[in-house]
Homo-oligomer: A and B are copies of this chain.
């Protein structure tokens, strides 16, 4: 259960004030291993989630696994979106085994962690379970992650559930941060929904065309 740091109230939801975003091993080589979402879709979802981090100014931690080798560098779009963030390159399989990564997480000062990564069964499941063990609240963003096949992903989801990780999707994370359509950030959020869900831009364009008659 998330511990709201400001108000000390317990809430089942994360907010822009108490959450951090952890993007793990979204590397150009590793993404080729995702075979249960097509490449257009998983990239759309990863970038959609990263943009949530920008819109709500969440602390972001970026990490890669041996980016110099065949795993490849971080997705170029992520590097562009967070030019000032250090990318922590590791030799540990479980990011949580890397002290530098854990330190970066601690320095966010947030106890609610939003995690996504490639591949779900390792790069997300392992640190998610480790973080739960350390007392953090964790949401694993399934559609901004990816797996070898549906069977492997289903096993990973089951294991995370058993450990107490909440499963979610980038659209749910985004909506959880937005909270209220009267906030200043709402139009920016609406544009983001339009760009990344596809359908919402169409609905908005139809609406505007109809209203202008």
Within 8 A of B (CB), among A30-88: 30-33, 35, 37-44, 65-73, 75-76
B37, B125, B179, B210: which contacts A206 (Cβ < 8 A)?
B210
User: What 1/0 mask marks residues of chain A from 155 to 191 whose CB sits below 8 Å from any chain B CB?
Assistant: 1111101111011110110011011111000000000
Copies of this chain, whole number: 8
Structural contact, B203 and A126, CB atoms closer than 8 A: no
Docked-complex contact B172 and A66, CB < 8 angstroms: no
Q: Could you say which interface size class chain A belongs to?
A: 35 or more
A206 contacts across to B, CB distance below 8 A: 28-29, 70, 72-73, 203, 206-207, 210
Contacts A65-B181, A92-B180, A207-B210 aside, 8 further interface pairs with beta carbons under 8 A come to A33-B199, A41-B41, A70-B200, A73-B206, A76-B205, A93-B176, A151-B169, A156-B169
Decide: B70 and A203 in contact? CB cutoff 8 A. Answer: yes
**A91 to B96 Cα, complex, angstroms:** 39
**Distance in Å from the Cβ of A135 to the closest Cβ of chain B?**
13
Nearest B residue (CB) for A160: B158
A136 interface hit (Cβ, 8 Å): no
Q: In the assembly, what is the distance between CA of A76 and CA of B194, in Å?
A: 12
Q: Does A129 contact B (CB under 8 A)?
A: yes
Q: How far is the CA of A47 from the CA of B69 in the complex (A)?
A: 26
A152 near B143 (CB under 8 angstroms)? Answer: yes
Inter-chain contact A72/B169, CB cutoff 8 Å? no
Partner of A143, one of B30, B92, B151, B163: B151
Q: Which residues of A contact B (CB under 8 A)?
A: 12-13, 28-33, 35, 37-44, 65-73, 75-76, 91-94, 97, 119, 121-122, 125-126, 129-130, 133, 142-143, 148-149, 151-152, 154-159, 161-164, 166-169, 171-172, 175-176, 178-182, 196-211, 213
Residue pair B171, A121 in contact (C-beta under 8 Å):
yes
Minimal beta-carbon separation of A167 from chain B (angstroms): 4
| A86 shortest CB reach to chain B, Å | 18
Q: Are B209 and A119 in contact (CB under 8 A)?
A: no
Of B31, B73, B92, B161, which one neighbours A158 at CB under 8 angstroms? B161
